[in-house]
Amino acid sequence: MTVPFSLKPYGNKPHHTGLAVPVFSLRTKNSSGIGQFSDLKILADFAHQAGMDLIQLLPINDTTTFMDWRDSYPYRAISVFALHPIYINLHDFWEDLTDRQQSDLLKEEKELNLLEQIDYERVLDLKWNYIKLLYDKKAKKIQASDAYLKFINKNSLWLEPYACFCVLRNQEKSADFSKWVDKTYSEKVYAKLKANESTDVELELQFFMQYFLHQQLKAAIDYCHQLGVAVKGDIAIGIAHDSVDAWTNPELFNLNMQAGAPPDVFAVNGQNWGFPTYNWERMAEDNYSWWKRRMQAMSEYFDAYRLDHILGFFRIWEIPQESVRGLLGQFSPALALSAEEIERSYGIPLRQWGVERFTKPFIKDWVIDDIFGRDYRDQIIQKYLKYTGFGNYAFDQAYDNQRKIEAAHIDEWIRLGLYQLHENVIFVQDHKNPELFHPRISVQNTISFQEFGAEYQERIKRLYNDYFYGRNYNFWKDRAYEKLPVIKDSTEMLACGEDLGMVPDNVPDVMYRLQILRLIVERMPNDDHFMNPLEYAPYLSVVTTSSHDTSNLRAWWTEDAETTQRYYNEIMGWQGPAPSVASAEIIEQIVKRHLNTNAMIVALPIQDWLGMSEDLRAANPVAEQINIPANPFHYWRYRLHIDLEELVENREFTDFLYQIISNSKRSN
């Protein structure tokens, strides 16, 4: 029976403590080389014994696009409704397997579980191979059950197109539906596949898999609730370009654009996630029904959610389809600048000097020398450029955008230099109206900017600061108020936002008024502080030591000796030279300060909880980082180095955690 569960601000228990870990990172004695939904029960046992009442996860939706390890990226979902097949636990069907199948499964699992990291492709193949065997044996009986029929009927709106997408993707060996015969989904596609005996079986296999994934996840969540442990999910900001949602409702997305993020400490060239951006105007026409259905589906499992990149609901960093890196993006929506305003308000002679001087790559001999070196100038000109007169060059047609350069067989250092040449502009033209302009992000770092005299550099800087730090703030705030209340109010889940990065000043106010919890990472201040002052963390916030995009505390301690020394003396208040390695005692003191903040939730990565034990911490903290944000094709394969059963059985450690939490502001 499902236990009623609620997680609300200012409740009977105002402060909550949790751990953050992806499902795929869990390791148990019955694992198949990866974490699985049923492992959440053992994780909940550990959390409960340690005095915690929340588990925070990464996205768990199906991401099968490339059908290889690149699909390990959990934020590129092919369906915002379907669960990932890789998380199914085959041991739930143990009695349905023959002795030989059981023996083969145990042998394969033993090899996979000995690996330090996930072998994504091998694990997924294993899961599908056994599910197909089980389908052949169990399908008819399961399909006749009331529970199965209820699940299919309730979810048919997304389940039927999802199953069709999977069948056609497998047939075509590509998820790029623009190359399929059926370029847009309709009920006729489903009827056609149902009418064919072989494809009908493939459709039913997808239903079968999703049904059991739902059953296993729901059972795990119910178990968490019985222990008083809430579960917090993660709602990714984007979807895969080649996804069921885009195939089914292409009008809801700008498929010719890519979402990403402007430059930050993680990625100096910006981030290009490759997701289409949302057509918010079209979504508003039916009061964001796609979003409401998405949130309602996730509320079947989660008590709270992390709204990934909440800034995207104010404005998104939108990058042209032909760009590889993020520097040629622009905020969308945004109040772009007209030529008249640029000239009149800022004294920049845009049309007098020629619009192309500002919007096309600025390439001269000395620019080429600066990027590639004088010895390579002739080679670069002859192969990649063409002379346009007056000492200027333009790209040859074969290399006139970054996607063409990406596809070319050239040395990496040349590729990166050509990308930089493409980005050597002052303004980017508006994606909807080329008569309007946006300053290129980090324009002062371009060689084109350096070529201007001091007076014009100051004018460009003034325009840049006005545009990025004030001009759009109220406009973006109004856009957020159009969307966020509708999305938030569609369920009873507690809303938490990931508001890191280039944050406009009014974002915290909007989140406060809507009661959406902020994310506070001590080492990532949004102002001029050396560190985020934890003593001022607002109640409506989630405080953490690290995230899946950062190193953990132990690895961070070794990254910059000067920062570590200052932190050791000023923040921790300890005297003398900082140790070169963060001992368990150091991590403990950092964790205690976080636990004593006023934040409603303190949710620390499991790596940092384990960092407080010299016996349980991993040997190499650097290997515990889950993601490298600058790499769009990072292999997400981190696994715990210890079985969850061992953590549950280690009462000395769980008692230690329980005491620390009980003696903090998190105490009941």
Check: CB of residue 301 under 8 Å from CB of residue 233.
yes
Which residue type does 78 have?
A: I
pLDDT of residue 658: 97
- Using one digit for the tens of pLDDT, what is the confidence trace for 31-72? 999 999 999 999 999 999 999 999 999 999 999 999 999 999
pLDDT greater than 60 at residue 21: yes
Task: Encode pLDDT of 446-489 as tens digits.
Answer: 999 999 999 999 999 999 999 999 999 999 999 999 999 999 99
Q: Can the peptide bond before residue 632 be classed as cis, meaning omega within 30 degrees of 0?
A: no
* Averaged pLDDT, 244-269: 93
List, for residues 480-538, the tens digit of each pLDDT value. 999 999 999 999 999 999 998 888 889 999 999 999 999 999 999 988 899 999 999 99
Put the strands of the sheet holding 436-439 in their side by side order.
Answer: 337-338, 436-439, 427-429
CB burial string 470-505: b at 16+ within 10 A, e below:
ebbeeebbebbeebbebbbebbebbbbbbbbbeebe
Q: What is the mean pLDDT of residues 167-190?
A: 97
The answer for residues whose C-beta is within 8 angstroms of residue 381's C-beta and 6 or more apart is: 368, 387, 393
Read off the pLDDT of residues 184-217 as tens digits, 9 standing for 90 and up.
Answer: 999 999 999 999 999 999 999 999 999 999 999 9
Q: What DSSP string describes 162-209?
A: HHHHHHHHHHHT---GGGSS--S--HHHHHHHHHSHHHHHHHHHHHHH
Instruction: Considering only residues 249 and 5, tell me which one the structure prediction assigns the higher pLDDT.
Output: 249
Statement: residue 1 has pLDDT above 60: no
Q: Measured at the alpha carbon of residue 153, what is the angle toward residues 239 and 296, in degrees to the nearest 5?
A: 45
Residue 264: pLDDT band with limits 50, 70, 90: confident
What is the per-residue DSSP string for 508-545?
Answer: HHHHHHTT-BEEEETT--SSS-SS--GGG--SSEEEES
Strand-pair partners of 519: 542
Q: How far apart are CA 286 and CA 283, in angstroms?
A: 6
> What is the C-alpha to C-alpha distance for residues 424 and 438, in angstroms, rounded to an integer?
14
CA angle 255, 259, 264 (to 5 degrees): 165
Cα–Cα distance list, 67 to 26, 72, 255, 633, 652 (Å): 22, 10, 21, 14, 43
Which pLDDT does position 632 carry in this prediction?
A: 78
Residue 668 confidence (pLDDT): 65
Q: Is the pLDDT of residue 653 over 80?
A: yes
Three-point CA angle 316, 318, 319, nearest 5°: 155
Helix (H, G, I), strand (E, B) or coil at 331: strand
The chain-wide mean pLDDT, for the chain, equals: 96
How confident is the model over 330-335, as a mean pLDDT?
Answer: 96
pLDDT score recorded for residue 2:
46
Strands 253-261 and 392-395 come out as unpaired
Question: For residue 475, which phi and psi values (nearest 5 degrees)?
Answer: -60, -45
- Grouping H, G, I as helix, E, B as strand and the rest as coil, residue 304 is strand
DSSP class of 266 = S
Mean pLDDT of 4-18: 87
Q: What percent of the chain shows pLDDT beyond 90?
A: 94
d(CA 156, CA 135): 20
Q: What is the pLDDT of residue 631?
A: 83
* Per-residue pLDDT at 608 exceeds 90: yes
Write out the two tokens for 233: 């999910």
Contacts of 345 by beta carbon, 8 Å cutoff, 6+ apart = 463
What per-residue confidence (pLDDT) applies to 554?
98
Whether the pLDDT of residue 372 is over 90: the answer is yes
pLDDT score, position 560:
96
User: In whole angstroms, how far apart are CA 217 and each of 23, 40, 46, 223, 317?
Assistant: 11, 8, 18, 10, 34
pLDDT at 125 over 80: yes
pLDDT of residue 5: 65
DSSP state of 579: P
Give the mean model confidence (pLDDT) for residues 577-581.
Answer: 97
Longest alpha-carbon distance in the chain: 82
| Rounded average pLDDT over 427-446 | 97
Q: Kindly give the interhelix angle for 120-143 and 197-226, rounded to the nearest 10 degrees.
A: 100
Is it the case that residue 627 has pLDDT exceeding 70? yes
3 has a pLDDT exceeding 60: no
206 Cβ neighbours under 8 A, 6+ residues apart = 159, 162, 163, 166, 167
- 220-233 tens-digit pLDDT: 999 999 999 999 99
pTM of the model: 0.94
- In whole angstroms, what is the distance from residue 376 CA to residue 43 CA? 57
